């Protein structure tokens, strides 16, 4: 059996046993990575590159408690609209109001279960990160230093200022499909992403045996969310990201991922 096949078999065995990524990093929440990956997932380099900081900010934007290994909030965010559909910790996620496309009420979250009527962060692109961080500390957002430290908050501010992308460059507005080069995306996926997802994208399953959620499933159904994670990683997981590579690389990977099996 090849080394890749042995690794795949081991991962599948752990998935079947329910042990993959379930070593606890905190008493209140299991981790999505092995203990030896803790520093990669929740630590930081001694001399962080700008690309690393922006990707770290993108993970905090996704789910800050998972990204930072902190206890999740239990109460609904005081600024979350009463007309909103979520409550508790999810109301504290930046993406819950501002969206995966960063457009808030002017994007995909204009309607549906995530609609809040709140503007996006796209208007803050290019602004001074210090000013953005100050807004995140203000009562409207209410992120305390116990939740997100000053250094970590600056990573979020850098992401808001310099890490956004225009979803119109990524996904076709009419078809909803990614706009990249499938063949080029195949080469990138097979040489990078397949190490964890497998060549057919079915090595990791976030769903169940009856209702699987593979990378192909997610990329077809939620391309904007998957694209954000390709660029910033999934918070709390030992996942590579393509933040330091050209934007086109991530678009091409998403385009190929959307062609992979959904079940």
pLDDT at res. 242:
98
DSSP 82-139: TT-S--GGGGG-HHHHH-TTS-BTTTGGGSSTT----B-SGGGTTS-HHHHHHHHHST
pLDDT at res. 32:
80
pLDDT at res. 29:
54
pTM, rounded to two decimals: 0.89
pLDDT at res. 3:
41
pLDDT at res. 132:
98
User: Whole-angstrom Cα distance, residue 57 to residue 54?
Assistant: 5
User: Whole-angstrom Cα distance, residue 247 to residue 169?
Assistant: 10
Domains and CATH numbers, the chain: 46-164 (no CATH), 169-257 (1.10.760.10)
Specify burial of residue 212 (Cβ count, 10 A radius: 0-12, 13-18, 19+). middle
User: Whole-angstrom Cα distance, residue 61 to residue 113?
Assistant: 19
Q: What is the tens place of the pLDDT at every residue in 16-31?
A: 333 343 333 444 455 6
Q: Which residue ranges of the chain lie beneath pLDDT 70?
A: 1-31
């Amino acid at each position: 059996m090849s080394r890749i096949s042995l690794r795949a078999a081991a991962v599948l065995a752990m998935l079947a046993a329910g042990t993959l990524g379930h070593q606890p990093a905190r008493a209140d929440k299991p981790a999505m990575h092995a203990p030896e990956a803790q520093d990669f997932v929740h630590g930081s380099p001694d001399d962080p590159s700008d690309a690393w900081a922006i990707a770290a900010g993108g993970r905090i934007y996704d789910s800050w408690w998972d990204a930072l290994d902190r206890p999740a909030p239990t109460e609904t965010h005081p600024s979350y609209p009463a007309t909103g559909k979520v409550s508790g910790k999810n109301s504290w996620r930046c993406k819950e109001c501002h969206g995966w496309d960063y457009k808030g009420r002017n994007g995909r979250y204009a309607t549906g279960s995530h609609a809040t009527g709140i503007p996006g962060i796209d208007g803050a692109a290019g602004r001074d990160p210090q000013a953005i961080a100050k807004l995140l500390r203000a009562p409207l957002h209410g992120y305390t230093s116990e939740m997100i430290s000053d250094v970590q908050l600056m990573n979020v501010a850098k992401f808001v200022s310099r890490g956004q992308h225009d979803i119109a460059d990524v996904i076709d507005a009419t078809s909803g499909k990614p706009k990249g080069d499938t063949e080029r995306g195949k080469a990138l996926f097979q040489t990078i992403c397949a190490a964890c997802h497998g060549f057919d994208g079915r090595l990791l399953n976030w769903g169940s045996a009856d209702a699987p959620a593979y990378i192909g499933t997610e990329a077809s159904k939620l391309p904007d969310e998957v694209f954000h994670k390709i660029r910033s990683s999934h918070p709390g997981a030992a996942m590579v990201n393509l933040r330091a590579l050209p934007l086109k690389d991530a678009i091409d990977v998403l385009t190929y991922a959307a062609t992979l099996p959904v079940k």
